[in-house]
Structure 1
Amino acid sequence: MGDRTVIITTLNEAWAAPNSMLDLFLESFRLGEQTASLLNHLVIVAMDQKAFDRCQLIHTHCFSLTTKGVNFSAEKRFMSEDYLKMMWRRIKFLRSVLELGYNFIFTDADVMWFRNPISHFMSTADITMACDYYNGDSSNRKNRANGGFNYVRSTTATIEFYKFWYMARELYPGLHDQAVFNIIKFDGAVNGRGLQMRFLDTAYFGGFCQSAKDFNKVCTLHANCCVGIESKLHDLRLVLDDWRNFTSLPTEEKKLRKYSWRAPRMCKNH
């Protein structure tokens, strides 16, 4: 974008395969309100060769991020050793994006985009992070952050934070990046750098943990609090159908009628 902001998602073969997560993700941009043009700024980062090949068939901006000696292609079960390696590889990569002078909106591919989120990002914040659970105060670090959707400005403070975050994986072995973030956001070393953090209201940036109930407000909806690609796919298909039905309504009816998501269903048991 004009201000050197790029939208980034990362995925592997399991998520990039036909009729899998990548197709739903891209479809949400096309169905959303004024979100289709944002695809021009989306870089899909493929964690293996097959994901990269599929990306090149269906999208303009693809980047291959392979890791020597590691095969990231199959579905990685939550908290497995390969899953953790993949998550931490992502943090290292995102730091290099900041070092190149780019701001980024990072989004998991199981986040559906229905409205442009940019107006909700505060220009004073270095890191703006979505939440599993939002407590009503955007500056309160006790919010349960979710690393699957965030906006990060390229500043000295954010570059240093991402270095510290990546290093902290050794302090907290066996934890994934989000769990470590939720620990180190209180760390004196982080606060001492003057890093400004803000957290996004789940009324606009909701998910299966805490829903964005008002269809007239929702910007993104994340299949969080859900383990396993099949469960996520099933419920996100319901989400896209519900959104299609909502957007087909006349303007007045959209305002008056109380609409609710059918999902989570398969994800409800997680």
Structure 2
Amino acid sequence: MESDLERNTKSGIDHRRYGRLPPLRVALLFGATVVACLLFYHSSDPIKTLLNFSVSTSTSSSTATPTVNVVSPLPPPPPVKEESKLERVLKHAAMDDKKTVIITTLNGAWAAPNAVFDVFLESFRIGNQTEKLVDHLVVVALDQKAYLRCLALHPHCYDLTSANKTDLSNDAYFMTPNYLDMMWRRIEFLHNVLELGYNFVFTDVDIVWFRNPFPRFYPDAEFQIACDYYGGNPLDMDNWPNGGFNYVKSSNSTVEFYKFWYESRITYPGLHDQDVFNQIKRDPKLTEIGLTFKFLDTNFFGGFCQPSRDFNSVCTMHANCCLGLDSKVNDLKVLLEDWKKYMILPSEARAWSIPQKCRYINPVYHPPVTPDEHVHEGEGDKN
């Protein structure tokens, strides 16, 4: 009978020379082979993975340690820019088109209970199909008092106080440094809104809303502005603009225009935004940037300077040409009472019951006064 040695020799295996593989080494080699196969199977580029995979054993130890070199992962994508607080407020207030909002600014004096802000909000509640529009209103607070008051009454409030260098919580009398600072701060803010891609209706808070104004906006104008005095032609440069109400579509032209408007305060020092607009409305720069603009008819967007005479058409009424906060509040409340009576008996509405306390009001159209005459009309908030 053949011995084991003779059989192994015939089969080509001589265990006396090679010895048996230790069980641990066999297990480790098997495990490394399984890992390699799995990586090869699941890799999107098997050949590249195979070339980058190696198993090495240590010669200084009786046990082998497998080392797996896997292709380095791709670097992580850059972090997404955090949405700014302003963007969040605008996004939550936007209309169905995702890019149109209504904006007003508010300081502490006008935010006081039973003052202008309360009258403003009430007009949306009692207006003809205006109640839902308030859902798209962004209130820009110029001081902490206004911000806290807004939070108590309205869901979409933006705190601009961190950027304020002056105290804007008190009533800003017409053409005082605080008044001018407040007017130019809103132009700068509205420029930022346009840069974010949002269209807006800007409305002073001393404007009451009786109807949805959107059907009355011109479809072919990027910038539309209300008037203290309107001569009947939306393209007539002799119309006297009022910056307290405008509709603006975001575009390269309007972004450039608001930048130019804001920078023009340096060219025309001591004037407020609407008087500077009156100076630049014929500037070749507007044609150069391709701005299309029109003036809004006071029959739809009236005010105390030139009231709308048609209760069946009026959309908004502005307490312009009126000096003093108390006078504004009184006569705005009178407007609301006139509107309530009209809604009950439309056929009985003949004319507004103002002015009562407001001064410097002339309901009959007259040619615009010069900027210098505006400045010297007296103390108080004219616009």
Give the structure-2-normalised TM-score: 0.68
Residue equivalent to 1:77: 173
Counterpart check, 1:50 vs 2:145: yes
2:303 to 180, 203, 207: 207
Q: How many residues align?
A: 265
1:246 to 321, 342, 351: 342
How do 1:138-157 and structure 2 match up within 5 A?
A: 138-157=234-253
1:269 deviation in Å?
A: 3.7
Q: Please, which moves more after superposition, 68-77 or 172-181?
A: 68-77
1:123 deviation in Å?
A: 2.0
1:174 to 256, 270, 291: 270
Cα-to-partner distance string for 1:5-62 (whole Å, 9 max, x where unaligned)? 1000001000011111000000000010000000110001000001000000000100
Q: Quick check: which one's strand share is greater?
A: 1
Q: What one-letter code is carried by the residue in structure 2 that aligns with 1:2?
A: D
1:225 to 315, 321, 331: 321
Q: Distance in 2 between the 1:215 and 1:33 partners?
A: 11
Aligned-partner SS, 1:138: coil
1:265 deviation in Å?
A: 1.9
Residue equivalent to 2:96: 2
1:68/1:213 Cα in 2 relative to 1: closer, same or farther (>3 Å)?
Answer: closer
Unaligned runs of 5+ in 2: 1-94, 362-383
Counterpart check, 1:125 vs 2:221: yes
Q: What one-letter code is carried by the residue in structure 2 that aligns with 1:173?
A: P
Q: Distance in 2 between the 1:39 and 1:98 partners?
A: 20
1:257 deviation in Å?
A: 3.5
Aligned-partner SS, 1:267: coil
Q: Please, which moves more after superposition, 18-27 or 258-267?
A: 258-267
The list of structure 1 runs, each at least 4 consecutive aligned residues, that deviate by more than 4 angstroms after superposition, is: none
How do 1:29-68 and structure 2 match up within 5 A?
A: 29-66=124-161, 67-68=163-164
Cα-to-partner distance string for 1:209-237 (whole Å, 9 max, x where unaligned)? 00101111110000011121111111111
Counterpart check, 1:264 vs 2:358: no
Counterpart check, 1:15 vs 2:114: no
Cα-to-partner distance string for 1:124-164 (whole Å, 9 max, x where unaligned)? 10101111111111122221111101000000000000000
Q: What one-letter code is carried by the residue in structure 1 that aligns with 2:111?
A: A
Q: Distance in 2 between the 1:183 and 1:123 partners?
A: 25
Q: Please, which moves more after superposition, 23-32 or 68-77?
A: 68-77
Give the structure-1-normalised TM-score: 0.96
Unaligned runs of 5+ in 1: none
Counterpart check, 1:89 vs 2:185: yes
Aligned-partner SS, 1:95: helix
Q: What one-letter code is carried by the residue in structure 1 that aligns with 2:120?
A: F
Q: Distance in 2 between the 1:86 and 1:187 partners?
A: 25
Residue equivalent to 1:25: 120
Structure possessing the higher radius of gyration over alpha carbons: 2
Q: Distance in 2 between the 1:121 and 1:217 partners?
A: 13
- 2:341–2:349 contact (8 Å) kept in structure 1: no
Q: Please, which moves more after superposition, 137-146 or 174-183?
A: 137-146
Q: What one-letter code is carried by the residue in structure 2 that aligns with 1:152?
A: V
Q: Distance in 1 between the 2:137 and 2:256 partners?
A: 25
Higher relative contact order (CA 8 A, sep 6+): 1
Q: Distance in 2 between the 1:100 and 1:192 partners?
A: 23
Cα-to-partner distance string for 1:159-185 (whole Å, 9 max, x where unaligned)? 000000000000000000010011111
> What do you get for the CA RMSD once the two structures are aligned?
1.0
